[in-house]
Amino acid sequence: MNLVIDVGNSYVKLAVFESGILKYKGTVTLGSVLEGINSLKDKYVSIKKAIISSVGRLDKETIEIIKESFNITILDSSTKLPFKNLYKTPNTLGVDRIALVCASVEQFPNSNALIIDAGTCVTYDFVTVKNEYLGGAISPGLRMRYESLNNLTANLPLLESETPKSIIGNSTNDSIHSGVVHGLLKEIDGNIEVYNLKYSDLTVILTGGDANFLSKQLKSSIFANSNFLLEGLNYILQFNSNE
């Protein structure tokens, strides 16, 4: 069994995989990460290997304690990957984007694939049928767009995400929902269209915290998978364990 530790700004996602199948997924705070890991260690005694992503947010003492229990892989720019990385600045490529590409390589081999991660930011990552990662794009996520309207203006309120009633907003709130949500949907559909024109047999994967909200409203044909990043991290762990 494998343990995946995905460290965010305030929270840590923990996942347990057995033979590539997700057995457990949960979230703990940074301060309670060891408590969460110990609980999983007691419940899943067969866990032998673990991978840590975004290790910079964990202190060295915590990492050393984790190493006492598992054979650890720490994901960074030097980690062996199952694709050819043609990004011009590989050292600046986020580990989350690396994991998403790896999940694509495993689950959609020999495909032109566009992976869209709709989270704090919306990232677009493209890997070719030849297993070459070319790069992609980064734009503001749904929440960031709502917050920017509130933070950078005097009178616009901060709203929660909501499916617009119409393209024509007949109130300030409805206008914000229309502008933010329809704007992001058109961006995503537009990017998919551009890739489709350039690359045949394109596979599109949508993941991230806003994937479910957006997938129901997109015109393009996509695979929606909220666990794609965790699955990619598990595949990296397996790939390096087999070296």
Instruction: Tell me the two tokens of residue 12.
Output: 């840590």
Buried b (16+ CB within 10 A) or exposed e, 2-26: bbbbbbeeeebbbbbbeeeeeeeee
Query: At a CB cut-off of 8 Å and minimum separation 6, what does 157 contact?
Result: 150, 172, 173, 176
SS3 state at 52: strand
DSSP secondary structure string for all residues of 65-130: HHHTTSEEEE-STTS--SSEE--S-GGGS-HHHHHHHHHHHHHSTTSEEEEEEESSEEEEEEE-TT
Instruction: Tell me the two tokens of residue 76.
Output: 């960074």
Pairing, β 49-53 against β 223-224: unpaired
* Number of residues that this document lists for the chain: 243
- Model pLDDT, residue 8: 83
pLDDT digits (tens, 9 = 90+) for 34-51: 999 999 999 999 999 999
Residue 214 and residue 218: Cα distance in Å, rounded? 6
Composition of the chain by helix, strand, coil, percent to 5: 40, 25, 35
Is 174 known to be catalytic? no
All structural domains of the chain: 2-74 (3.30.420.40), 84-233 (3.30.420.40)
Residue 45 in marked binding region? no
Residue 87 in marked binding region? yes
- Model pLDDT, residue 243: 53
What number of other Cβ atoms are within 10 A of residue 42's Cβ?
Answer: 8
Of the residues 42, 59, 76, 96, only one is catalytic, namely 96
- Model pLDDT, residue 56: 66
Residue 89 and residue 95: Cα distance in Å, rounded? 13
Residue 13 in marked binding region? yes
pLDDT tens, residue order, the chain (243 aa): 999 999 987 789 999 999 999 999 999 998 899 999 999 999 999 999 999 998 668 888 999 999 999 999 999 888 999 999 999 999 999 999 999 999 999 999 989 999 999 999 999 999 999 999 999 999 999 999 999 999 999 999 999 999 999 999 999 999 999 999 999 999 999 999 999 999 989 999 999 999 999 999 998 889 999 999 999 999 999 999 875
